[in-house]
Amino acid sequence: MSKIYDIYFKEDIPKYIEIANHLKQLIDSKKIKDGEKLPTIRELSSNLEVNKVTIVNAYKKLQTDGYAYQKVGSGTYAKRKESISSFNREYSKIFKNLSSDDFEKIIDFTGETNSDVYFPMDDFKNVINKVLDRDGANALIIKESLGYENLRKTINNSFWENKIDLNNILIVSGAQQGIDIAAKAIVNINDNVIVEKPTYGGAISVFKWRRANIFEVELEKDGINLIAFEEILKKNNIRCFYTMSYFHNPTGISYSLEKKLKLLELANKYDFYIIEDDYLSELIYSEDIRHEPLKSLDKYERVIYIKSFSKVFLPGIRLGYMITPSSFTESIQRSKINTDIATSSLMQRALELYISEGFWKKNIEYQKNIYKEKYLLMKELINRELGDNVNYIDPLGGLYINLEIKNKDITSKELFYKLKEKNLYITPGVIFFRDSISGEEFFRISFSQASKEKIIKGIELIKEELK
């Protein structure tokens, strides 16, 4: 630890940058170990004979650049940058290199591939033909920056009982673009944001790209830990909170009504915005869960709502929509236009007709029936075959189940490599955490792309490795 204090300052470089760069070199060279706690602000400022604000700024820069993370009430910890990203790159590369023939041979429990889509193609073909017959070349030429107006009207009518100002509905190319647009509109360099721990890696990437300071808060069975959440709010000026309110990725949990209402109260009290990624809420399998997004309860105009159609429409057709608070409508629209000007006109028109003519509702029921059967089968097998080896929270919907390994002698990454040799692919929990020392005991398994026969075989293979 003495090497930390071995630094000489130059007059032309701000001290906080020199301190941050010095610590980065020590982390990269492994002289400071991955996950090692860094000195307190008081200790480092005393030893380096600089004021505490300089150390605070140095630690903020380390976090922004991905070299440190903060544990509330505990301190700041080193993070070797490659420790997460190298595995994430390797994990991603594995799937990119799989061919369509490979997918026939493997058992895919990742839910990240589209080898088997439950979608009535005849209905979709008829819708496309109707759009082309009705609109002709306009279906391909005309572009509206906010999105096809009739689609926005149909979304408002079909999903929101016409309660939303049409100007606040914006068509986007999927949830990822929606998160990016929202972040560009409201998050600036060194702004503070809160995410759930764990959370969707794509959201973390967006906030890192915006060079925001990211705070993580643990999840409970019915949503985020509100006590820890408010402690951060009291001590920091938070700009936004990103959440998946239904079938959270990867844990599968859904927020209780009580926590939703409390979150909205906190957003109003502490003046921050909520980016709500309404993920897979069409796939509810239990009467214990009611579809009531934060946006539907939002009397304070604090929620930026994002909904993707990709999981339940054709995944290859990137479509979704956002609902924005009136105060942010203009800046979010500018962010959208600066991103890609307009989303596919033909696909928007096809989706509008697909919803308005009743195909959407019929297809959702069709998919729910298929996925519910798989969900019940996978849950039964986990309880019967893996009960001694894993813990889990029953998601009651969605497309996957998140498992916690009881036996700490094996990590989820090690399990991933062992199962890969047997042509079974799972998602290790480390994918969903900012730091490299979290998530090793978790792995996510999805039933969306596997047949019932493959689900049975896959659970048997997991059982063999966990015994």
Sign of CA dihedral 194, 200, 202, 208: positive
Burial of 413 (0-12, 13-18, 19+ CB in 10 A): middle
Q: Determine the Cα–Cα distance for residues 368 and 254; give it in Å rounded to an integer.
A: 17
Chain centroid to Cα 61, Å, comes to: 24
Domain end (from 311, 328, 357): 357
Burial of 418 (0-12, 13-18, 19+ CB in 10 A): middle
Give the CATH number for residue 247: 3.40.640.10
Q: Going residue by residue through the chain, which has 467 residues, state the pLDDT in tens, using 9 for 90 and above.
A: 556 766 767 666 788 888 888 888 888 777 888 788 898 989 888 888 889 999 888 888 888 777 888 776 778 888 765 555 677 777 777 777 776 677 778 899 997 544 455 777 788 889 999 999 998 888 887 778 889 999 999 999 999 999 999 999 999 988 899 999 999 999 998 899 999 999 998 898 899 888 898 899 999 999 999 999 999 999 999 999 999 999 999 999 999 999 999 999 999 999 999 999 998 899 999 999 999 999 999 999 999 999 998 877 666 678 999 999 988 888 888 887 777 656 788 889 999 999 999 999 988 898 899 999 999 999 999 999 998 999 999 999 999 999 999 987 888 989 999 999 999 999 999 888 866 557 889 999 999 889 999 999 999 999 999 98
Q: Determine the Cα–Cα distance for residues 35 and 76; give it in Å rounded to an integer.
A: 9
Q: What are phi and psi of 273, to 5 degrees?
A: -110, 150
Question: Of the candidates 440, 176, 399, which has an alpha carbon nearest to the alpha carbon of residue 283?
Answer: 399
pLDDT score for 315: 67
Q: Which domain holds residue 65?
A: 2-80
pTM over 0.85: no
**Maximal C-alpha separation, the chain:** 76
Burial of 261 (0-12, 13-18, 19+ CB in 10 A): middle
Domain end (from 310, 338, 357): 357
Domain end (from 58, 80, 102): 80
Examine the domain organization and report whether 160 and 254 are in the same domain: yes
Is residue 126 domain-resident?
no
Is residue 93 domain-resident?
yes
Is residue 115 domain-resident?
no
Give the CATH number for residue 26: 1.10.10.10
Examine the domain organization and report whether 30 and 154 are in the same domain: no
Examine the domain organization and report whether 162 and 280 are in the same domain: yes
Examine the domain organization and report whether 63 and 87 are in the same domain: no
Q: Are 393 and 410 in contact (CB under 8 A)?
A: no
Examine the domain organization and report whether 183 and 280 are in the same domain: yes
pLDDT score for 221: 94
Q: Determine the Cα–Cα distance for residues 110 and 51; give it in Å rounded to an integer.
A: 48
pLDDT score for 113: 46
For residue 186 the two structure tokens come to 């409201």
Question: Of the candidates 326, 329, 322, 319, which has an alpha carbon nearest to the alpha carbon of residue 306?
Answer: 322
Q: Determine the Cα–Cα distance for residues 89 and 83; give it in Å rounded to an integer.
A: 11
Give the CATH number for residue 372: 3.90.1150.10
For residue 103 the two structure tokens come to 């997918």
Is residue 89 domain-resident?
yes
